[in-house]
Structure 1
Amino acid sequence: MLESVTSRALESALDGLSMRQKAIANNIANINTPGYTAERVSFEDALAKSVQQGNGATTATMSRSLEPTREDGNNVNLDTETLSNTTTVLQYQFATQAENQVLTSIRAALKDG
């Protein structure tokens, strides 16, 4: 398939958002696990830098939250996870729609060409 900065960036974004969805699900599943610290996925800054450099490809990274913990050592906050989940779902839908637009444009170019 034709590789462009846009298609690589969208693929990287979808991979990062998918990883974030899994982390959120894991955090919620462990909300009552003593000593568990929430997972955080980041990729946006690296993705922006990669796009600026003309590449678009990057890999998401996972780290542990440094937010304060409860007495049991757990720091998962359901409100934070719910908000993050909503945002991630919307971003994933937007990126999927953008990817579909890229593919539609490629198909149209191949058909007309």
Structure 2
Amino acid sequence: MVKFRAIHTADLKPDVNPEEFEKFMLEEFIPETMKLKGCLEVQLLKGYKGDLPGVATAKSDYAWISLWESVEANNKAWTKRGKHFTPDGIEKVMAKLFGFVTSYWLVGGYTIVGE
């Protein structure tokens, strides 16, 4: 089966300490997401905001990329009775996520080529 990646981005609220957000993501959000059947890995990325001329700056403060066994595994984790839903174990960390971010977006899902 072809592996699948989902990419999300987020912007922090102005009063949020980035280190506290990173701690939450690494110690709560990512471990809870990893409990979902079919989720193989989740990485947290901090947006580059430097001024090197050859490096593009990030539009968002953070991103996270999850790796799944397949498109079907991702769909099964996030679908119930044919509709998108938030799995029970994730609801609590999703609510806490909104305390840190102004909003977050699913950039999209991508299948891995060449594996």
Normalized per residue, the structure richer in strand is: 2
* TM-score, normalised relative to structure 1: 0.29
Q: Which of these two proteins has the greater Rg computed from alpha carbons?
A: 1
